């Protein structure tokens, strides 16, 4: 005699209280779930790479200042590379923007391009006069 011979031929139980569950609803009960909500996002954020802020010596700062004044005098387009700090972790990234300078607010230390792009003069790491606009 087998282990389940006494119950193997009994009719399937039908609940008088609960509706019959479809196969899709039943399968959904066993679907995987994330027990640690946000863990994957935290791991991804930690793995995201940021650059260190470049440190400019006095010679480079002086050269950038000369180039900025020349660009303002001549009205030529420039390619500005600046450091943008990351809002969530140490470091940031270098951003390059090309265009003509609209104005330089020396008091607020802000460079404003014709297309509205603004950058702090303290964050500029390179400035090159270009022929493109």
User: In order along the chain (133 residues), what is the average pLDDT of each group of 10 residues?
Assistant: 87 90 88 80 88 93 93 92 92 94 92 94 94 65
Task: Calculate the CA 69 to chain-centre distance.
Answer: 33
Any domain includes 115:
yes
Residue 41 lies in a domain: no
For residue 89, being part of any structural domain is answered with: yes
User: What does the buried/exposed string (b/e) look like for 76-90 if buried means 16 or more CB atoms within 10 Å of the residue's CB?
Assistant: ebbebbbbeeeeeee
> How many separate domains does the chain show?
1
Q: Is residue 25 part of a domain?
A: no
DSSP H/E element including 53 = none
4 within some domain: no
pTM score, whole prediction? 0.65
């Amino acid at each position: 005699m087998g282990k389940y011979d006494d119950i193997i031929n009994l009719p399937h139980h039908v609940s008088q209280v609960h509706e019959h569950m479809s196969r899709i609803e039943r399968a959904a009960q066993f679907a995987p779930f994330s027990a640690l909500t946000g863990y994957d996002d935290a791991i991804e954020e930690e793995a995201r790479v940021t650059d260190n802020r470049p440190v400019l010596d006095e010679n480079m700062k002086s050269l950038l200042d000369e180039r900025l004044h020349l660009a303002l005098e001549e009205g030529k387009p420039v390619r500005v590379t600046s450091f943008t700090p990351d809002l969530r972790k140490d470091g940031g990234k270098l951003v390059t923007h090309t265009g003509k300078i609209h104005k330089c607010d020396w008091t607020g230390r802000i460079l404003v391009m014709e297309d509205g792009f603004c950058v702090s003069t303290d964050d500029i790491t390179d400035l090159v006069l270009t022929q493109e606009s």
